[in-house]
Amino acid sequence: MQELKQWQVVELLKTTTGYFEEKAVDEPRISSELLLGHVLGQSRLQLYLHHNRPVYQDELDRFRGLCRQRVDGRPVQYIIGEQYFYGLQFMVDERVLIPRPETELLVEHVLESLGMTGLGGSSSATILDIGTGSGCIAVTMAKLCPSLTVTAVDCSLDALDVAHTNAANNNVESRIEFLAADMFDKSFASLMPVNTYDLIVSNPPYIPDAEWEGLQREVKQYEPRIALTTPQGSECYVAIVPLAKKLLVPGGKLCLELHADAGESVSKLMTAHGFSGITIYKDYSGLDRVISGVFPI
């Protein structure tokens, strides 16, 4: 009987990365590291610190099973069931979008805004997160700013279940109220008190249906389309901006993540509804990504 090969971490990572490259898997090295780290219970750094560690047969079998899912296009975050966002760990699965670095820029701007307006630190502020999804924005703000009170809204009960879990895992569930509501429903504004929120934030679906076919295969195959697209891509902005007028306190702020081509149109929309100090912030690729404005006092 032929003896089975005894793999070590470093050579298994190298071989798997090459295999993923042949299969045109996105980010082949990172995928290999995250999947093997998940099986072995180690971080990516620990894998290299213990690069000569043997990988035993039961571990190898589990790892190969995960690799087959990755080759089939399933995102590595869904395979291992987690994604880090703003330094915090979030549970994710196919019920919610995978939190992305672009949304960290939105959170960064929100936190800066709260500090600049004197609402951070030991002061209190009331935040509304529309379309919370995994809860990454709401949970991160509640975790980093213990003085905040956050309301997180989503039309998907599945997404709210994930967000609840992430709030509990990060020990902030007592300061986040979760509501099931659809921003397009006429009753949406009646579910929340008017002129109450110091800041409204949203990363809404903003990809036009016409762009769907051009997205990555794994996005189209596994991520929830309801959280990604609308017919024209602009519908959520058109719904949120007038809602914000009713729900913000005078001098409150609206912060939105942008489609790269939506900066000008959303700026005009906010101006038409009385917002001032409108500013657009670019992402690391130089694309319009975040817009904010203040509702007049």
Burial of residue 90 (CB within 10 Å: 0-12, 13-18, 19+) is buried
Partners of residue 292 on adjacent β-strands = 255, 279
Q: Could you tell me if 8 and 55 are in contact, meaning their C-beta atoms sit under 8 angstroms apart?
A: yes
Residue 245, number of CB atoms within 10 A of its CB: 19
**Rg of the chain taking only CA atoms, in angstroms:** 21
**Percent of the chain whose pLDDT exceeds 70:** 96
| Whole-number pLDDT of residue 102 | 94
Mean pLDDT computed over 292-297 = 89
Q: What value does the mean pLDDT of the chain take?
A: 94
Q: Side-chain half-sphere of 219: how many Cα atoms within 13 Å?
A: 17
pLDDT for residue 272: 97
- Whether the predicted pLDDT of 3 surpasses 70: no
Mean pLDDT, rounded, for 269-287: 96
pTM attached to this predicted model = 0.92
Supply the pLDDT for residue 4: 67
pLDDT of 28 over the 80 cut: yes
Check residue 108 and give its pLDDT: 95
pLDDT of residue 115: 77
Rounded to an integer, what distance in angstroms lies between the CA atom of residue 229 and that of residue 204?
A: 9
Mind listing the pLDDT tens digit for each residue in 220-271? 999 999 999 999 999 999 999 999 999 999 999 999 999 999 999 999 999 9
pLDDT of 41 over the 60 cut:
yes
pLDDT, position 116: 39
pLDDT digit string, tens, across residues 78-125: 999 999 999 999 999 999 999 999 999 999 999 998 873 444 444 689
**Length of the chain in terms of residues written:** 297
Average pLDDT over residues 31-44: 97
Q: Which residues pair with 255 in a beta bridge?
A: 201, 292
- Contact between 47 and 33 under an 8 Å Cβ cutoff? The reply is yes
CATH number of 95-294: 3.40.50.150
Query: ∠236-292-269 over CA atoms, to 5°?
Result: 50
Q: Look at 2-6, 163-167, 241-245 and tell me which has the smallest mean pLDDT.
A: 2-6
Within 10 A of 138 (CB to CB), how many other CB atoms are there?
A: 30
Question: 7-72, what's its fold?
Answer: Helicase, Ruva Protein; domain 3 (1.10.8)
Supply the pLDDT for residue 123. Answer: 60
Task: Look at residue 296 in the predicted model and tell me its pLDDT.
Answer: 82
> 213 is written with which tokens?
């076919």
- Burial track 57-69 (b if 16+ CB lie within 10 A, e otherwise): eebbebbeebbee
How does DSSP assign 133-193, residue by residue?
Answer: TTSHHHHHHHHH-TTEEEEEEES-HHHHHHHHHHHHHTT-GGGEEEEE--TTSTTTGGGS-
Per-domain boundaries in the chain: 7-72, 95-294
Q: How confident is the model at residue 14 (pLDDT cuts 50, 70, 90)?
A: very high
